[in-house]
Amino acid sequence: MKICVIGLGYIGLPTSAMFAAHGHNVLGVDKNPAVIEALNQGSIIIEEANLDSFVKDVVEKGTLRGAMEPEEADAFIIAVPTPITEEKKADMRYVQAATEMILPYIRKGNLVILESTSPVGTVEQLMLPILEKSGLKMGEELFVGHSPERVIPGQILYELVHNSRIAGGINAISAQKIAELYRSFVEGEIYQCDARTAELCKLTENTFRDINIAFANELAQICENLDIDVWQVIQLCNKHPRVNIHQPGPGVGGHCIAVDPWFIIEKQPDTAKLIHQARLINDYMPEYVAAHIYELLEDVEQPQVTILGLTYKPDVDDIRESPVLKLAALLEKNGVAVKRHDPFVKAYQGDVAEACAGSHLVLLGVHHQQYKALPAKEMLAAMAGKLFYDTRNFADEPSLTEAGFEVYSLGR
């Protein structure tokens, strides 16, 4: 088929390349000229393992190209951002704009698929009213639905192929046509359902994870109060065949887990009570950690902290919605000087010991693999204090203590 993909970000670009590598002719559309320029030179401007060579290959084969405007096609896939506003409301302007953008190119028999994570009812209440302006009969002359992504950054190309997938349609034939299209490269199961169910499934998967992380974070606070090591409790409980307690941390970041539950809360504010409380618990964690830092530094004049790790999760370069950045801002607002280090963030790369110079406390914010072996002696030599606060139960505590650090940990 000829496929037109609107939005060439973390999902749209890998998906475009995957279709282009499996027999389709793909036109990638993005409003950022830099993305289109790079693409047509066979290169990319996002970080994802092996994606650059994968894209280069299909661009050179001529099955993937970029343009600023859509063209007629057999299928249109919308994979644009669905961010959240300050008031925690879904910002659907990009989905609205993308749907309007493809309208002039829609033809009888076409398929329109929303991939972006969206509130329940987006396909039916936001997209169909626009697509009906084509004059085509929805579900008979134009097939529409939602097929959400569940890939994890860093393993996108593998998971695109091997994850099972949901194909939600405004009617059965739409769901079937969507499933058939993804069968081009999906080796996992493809489950068909209606569009609303597909929309809620995506939100539910991430909300399930958010609630479980909130449970771990609340357990960490309880354990501190009861003088118990939460990490040992979790490790022992997870020996139970049907228990899988998640990991406490300084908060929940990224533009998925921290965002998607709000799409459910917005639609069902009075019923989504547990979901809402979990969000509040996770969003409180930067403050909770900051309070510990103030306690540890209360006798220090002009305290300074070095934070190791700023991204939203380990071994990625993405700092969007990172809870550690919120923690850094909180500390600075309360008169604590903050020095930053992160091997994945250009502005903060460099020597760890140097980043600790003059600091009274080092805080491990993200468990990047590189931080498993820290130059403890050099760090202490550069520091003005000897405190270490671990938010991830990750640092090699015995070697830090042996070098002279006083080590504290979230949840212990």
The binder of ligand SAJ chosen from 152, 274, 291, 381 (CB under 6 A):
152
Q: Which burial class, exposed, middle or buried, applies to 198 when counting CB atoms under 10 A from its CB (0-12, 13-18, 19+)?
A: buried
256 among known catalytic residues: yes
Q: Which burial class, exposed, middle or buried, applies to 297 when counting CB atoms under 10 A from its CB (0-12, 13-18, 19+)?
A: buried
Cβ 253 to ligand SAJ shortest distance, Å: 3
The residue annotated as part of the active site, out of 4, 177, 202, 339, is 202
User: Taking Cα atoms as reference points, which of 165, 167, 96, 169 lies closest to residue 133?
Assistant: 96
237 among known catalytic residues: no
The residue annotated as part of the active site, out of 4, 177, 223, 256, is 256
State the CB neighbour count (10 A cutoff) for residue 223: 20
C-beta contacts of 38-41 below 8 A and 24+ residues apart: 39/8, 39/13, 39/64, 39/65, 39/66, 40/65, 40/66
Map the footprint of ligand SAJ across residues 40-69, applying CB under 6 A. none
- Angle of helix 195-225 relative to helix 273-296, nearest 10 degrees, comes to 40
Map the footprint of ligand SAJ across residues 372-411, applying CB under 6 A. none
3-state secondary structure of 312: coil
The binder of ligand SAJ chosen from 12, 66, 145, 253 (CB under 6 A):
253
Q: How far is 233 from 145, CA to CA, in rounded Å?
A: 44
Q: Which residues contact 136 (CB under 8 A, 6 or more apart)?
A: 106, 108, 142
| 147 is a contact residue toward ligand SAJ (CB under 6 A) | no
| 338 is a contact residue toward ligand SAJ (CB under 6 A) | no
Looking at the DSSP bridge assignments, the partners of residue 389 are: 363, 408
Comparing CB distances to ligand SAJ, the nearer of 153 and 303 is 153
The binder of ligand SAJ chosen from 96, 221, 247, 370 (CB under 6 A):
247
| 25 is a contact residue toward ligand SAJ (CB under 6 A) | no
Q: Which stretch binds ligand SAJ (CB under 6 A): 179-187, 235-243, 247-255, 342-350?
A: 247-255
Binding mask 297-336 for ligand SAJ (x = CB under 6 A): ---------------xx-----------------------
Cβ 205 to ligand SAJ shortest distance, Å: 4
| 90 is a contact residue toward ligand SAJ (CB under 6 A) | no
The per-residue DSSP string of 226-243 comes to TT--HHHHHHHHTTSTT-
| 79 is a contact residue toward ligand SAJ (CB under 6 A) | no
| 153 is a contact residue toward ligand SAJ (CB under 6 A) | yes
Q: How far is 78 from 258, CA to CA, in rounded Å?
A: 22
Binding mask 178-217 for ligand SAJ (x = CB under 6 A): ---------------------------xx--x---x----
List residues binding ligand SAJ (CB under 6 A).
Answer: 149-153, 205-206, 209, 213, 246-247, 249, 252-254, 256-257, 312-313
Residues acting as catalytic residues:
202, 256
